[in-house]
């Protein structure tokens, strides 16, 4: 049985392991956990949907053995339906798939949920919020991409802030229980604005792992996200 997701109105930091030291994922995951990370974000890329190749099921299984934090898998892949069950067996807790990659999105989301995982739908920067209209009531979260997917370390696209607001309005208008996650260029300069706009799960990669002290970075981002003054 999968671990229950922690559903809270308070903002949560989800460190992206794409920016971690890939030779020491267990170490960096533990550091993020010490800082109060709510989950770990795992970017799965296939070199087709995006121009990069990253982690697969063996890495997810190794992470599952190394951490108790929920594993938040972002599938940036073609035909994600083919791999959902394998990732569930490897230990994923949440899976998000792209609107742009799914031919039968409702079926894919239903399959993710049937395997005991939280199901999310991701949208690229150029994808309109209207694409979520017919699925918003059936997902646990929406992942708003604030950079073009495929590579870490990119700059935040300012227009994404308005998109978060638009998704938040859609959630309220439809009575959906979906929460909003944001991924790409999230850091101390924009994290509070994203929370005010409606985001609850903040994926942060470089801003967590580039400074050498991931635990301290997560703690600092949590304070910023909550609107508290720096320690």
Q: How far apart, in whole angstroms, are the C-alpha atoms of residue 2 and residue 118?
A: 9
183 is catalytic: yes
Selecting among 46, 86, 183, 189, the annotated active-site residue is: 183
Nearest-CA neighbor of 15 among 59, 72, 61? 72
Element (H, E) at 203: strand 201-204
Q: In the numeric block, which tokens belong to residue 58?
A: 């063996």
Handedness of CA 209, 215, 216, 220 (dihedral sign): positive
Selecting among 43, 46, 72, 93, the annotated active-site residue is: 43
**94-98 vs 118-123, strand pairing mode:** parallel
DSSP for 92-121, written as a single string: -SEEEEEGGG-SSHHHHHHHHHHTT-EEEE
Per-residue DSSP letter, 131: G
Q: Which residues form the catalytic set?
A: 43, 183
């Amino acid at each position: 049985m999968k671990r229950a997701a922690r559903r809270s109105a308070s903002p949560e930091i989800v460190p992206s392991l794409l920016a971690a030291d890939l030779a020491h994922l267990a170490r960096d995951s533990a550091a993020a956990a010490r800082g109060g990370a709510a989950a770990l974000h795992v970017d799965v890329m296939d070199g087709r949907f995006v121009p990069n190749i990253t982690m697969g099921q063996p890495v997810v299984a190794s992470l599952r053995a190394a951490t108790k934090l929920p594993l938040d898998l972002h599938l940036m892949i073609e035909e994600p339906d083919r791999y959902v069950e394998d990732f569930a067996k490897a230990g994923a807790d949440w899976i998000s798939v792209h609107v742009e990659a799914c031919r039968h999105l409702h079926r894919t989301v239903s399959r993710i949920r049937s395997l005991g995982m939280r199901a999310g739908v991701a949208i690229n920067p150029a994808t309109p919020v209207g694409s979520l209209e017919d699925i918003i009531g059936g997902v646990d979260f929406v992942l708003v991409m604030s950079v073009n997917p495929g590579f870490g370390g990119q700059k935040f696209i300012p227009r994404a802030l308005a998109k978060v607001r638009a998704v938040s309005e859609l959630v309220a208008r439809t009575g959906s229980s979906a929460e909003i996650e944001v991924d790409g260029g999230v850091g101390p300069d924009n994290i509070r604005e994203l929370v005010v706009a409606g985001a609850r799960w903040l994926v942060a990669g470089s801003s967590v792992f580039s400074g050498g002290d991931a635990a301290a970075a997560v703690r600092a981002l949590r304070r910023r996200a909550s609107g508290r003054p720096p320690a």
